[in-house]
Chains A and B, each alone.
Chain A
Amino acid sequence: MKVALIKYNAGNVQSVRYALERLGVDAELTDNPEKIRSADRVIFPGQGEASSAMSYLKERKLDQVIREIKQPFLGVCLGLQLLCTHTEENDTTCLGIFPVKVKRFIPSASGQEKVPHVGWNSLENLVKNPLLKDLPDSKFMYYVHSYFAELGEHTLATTSYIQDFTAILHRDNFWAIQAHPEKSSMLGEKLLENFLALPSSPSPQIY
């Protein structure tokens, strides 16, 4: 199976690559549109700042490439946020795959809940979906982020921090996870495994 990891100016892509390696997949880190288009699976990892990431993608016309992908596509962390319509991080217009807005966490008045949201938090309100098949009992994922996607019709799972936000999104051949599956122990590994096991030529009925 050919897996393309979209290369852009985002941090710690290496961890995602190693996580895939543990599942027996040798992913290629690339910003070559042809390689991305011809891969069986495309993963859009990320950690970093939204506006510079979007500029980088646009300069290489990768924004258009991503919108036209037909095979299973997975956004992770900043990757999820960039698939939404807009983020408050430097008032950035994003790719618009998901009709969802990304907002900044406002620390709770009590000071109990800090920003960024760092650490292990649980997935809740899971919707039946091939990505969420046969998950382990422990639903904790590792999070590091200051911005979150609002709840919407494409939300597959939620997490609660200051308020409920979107933990996982799905629309057509696009999935996205706010936490870091590559750092989330057994649960994260299972999510990546399920993503790799999705049918390659998607028909909307299957999903």
Chain B
Amino acid sequence: MLTKRIIPCLDIKDGRTVKGVNFVELRDAGDPVALAKLYSQQGADELVFLDITATVDKRKTLVDLVTQVAKEVRIPFTVGGGIGSVEDVYSLLAAGADKISINSAAVAQPVLVDTLAREFGSQCVVVAIDSRQMDGIDWVHTHGGRKSTSLQTRAWAKELADRGAGEILLTSMDHDGTKAGFALELTAAISGALTIPIIASGGAGTMIHFKEVFTSGKADAALAASIFHFKEIGIPELKMYLGDEGVVVRK
């Protein structure tokens, strides 16, 4: 049976992991490759690297990092952050990334999704949506959730699927950082309406939240960052728990 996926997300700046990662197992907690290998050994199903490097000239650092990860890590990984052109995508895929994730660039230029899907195949095109609710309606936001748009989240997700996106990484900005659980209703609505996989993100605080997002939230995968980095939840225990609760996971 196809399993539900657990995906740790690593924030990268200038080729290093940021966000106070604290692992006694690692000599250098800022080394993304070492952290990626550790998560992979612990049973992470995939990894996401989100590059938050501000400057374009640091792009080469990211490509070098992707090469290292591809050489040493034996599970699939996605690279996102600041990707805006076919050339960006080409260099990351050529370096060994399995998938790329675009966000603001898809909003600014939706046809980029079609182009990437045609050029590289839908399987490697993940489109991230940052969503925030206002007066009961879910709106797409960009620039880390700071900038609002005139796009409604559900309609935008449908458009992305029609344009050839392979997966949707849906982050609820209202839930992100709260540790109060994922946005179940929104995730379920989008997952139920589309035939492509949905990765839910934002709000993970307990193991129960993961169970909820896979059952009532109908998510195909769940992404989290700090709860894994700060070891509030270990991936092996999370998978054990989910398995006991009847959620099919890889062990």
Residues of A whose CB lies within 8 Å of any CB of B are: 11-12, 14-15, 18-19, 21-22, 47-49, 107, 111, 113-122, 138, 140, 142-145, 160-161, 180, 182-186, 188-189
Contact = CB atoms under 8 A, between A and B. Distances in A.
Interface string B223-251: 00000000000000000000000000011
Contact of B70 (A14, A48, A113, A144): A14
B250 A140 contact: yes
B207 interface: no
A119 B4 CA distance: 8
B75 A14 contact: no
Contacts of A188: 74
B221 A119 contact: yes
B197 A121 contact: no
Nearest to A116: B123
B5 A120 contact: yes
Of A12, A21, A140, the most chain B CB neighbours within 10 A belong to A12
Contact of B220 (A47, A119, A121): A119
A81 to B, nearest CB: 14
Given A121-B3, A185-B75, 14 more contacts: A15-B70, A18-B70, A19-B74, A21-B71, A114-B197, A116-B122, A116-B123, A119-B197, A119-B220, A145-B123, A182-B74, A183-B75, A185-B40, A186-B74
Contacts, number: 89
A185 B72 CA distance: 11
A119 B192 contact: no
B123 A121 contact: no
A18 B96 contact: yes
A82 to B, nearest CB: 15
Interface in B76-107: 76, 93-96, 98
B123 A119 contact: no
Nearest to B122: A116
Interface of B: 1-5, 40, 45, 70-72, 74-76, 93-96, 98, 120-124, 166-167, 192, 194-197, 220-221, 250-251
Nearest to B194: A114
24 contacts: A11-B124, A12-B124, A14-B70, A14-B96, A18-B70, A18-B96, A19-B74, A21-B71, A22-B71, A22-B72, A22-B74, A107-B195, A113-B2, A116-B122, A116-B166, A117-B2, A118-B197, A119-B45, A119-B220, A121-B1, A145-B123, A180-B76, A184-B75, A186-B74
A143 B94 CA distance: 20
Contact of A11 (B2, B3, B120, B196): B120
B74 A114 contact: no
Contacts of B251: 138
Given A18-B70, A115-B195, A138-B250, A183 B95 contact: no
Contacts of A15: 70, 96, 98
Contacts of A182: 74
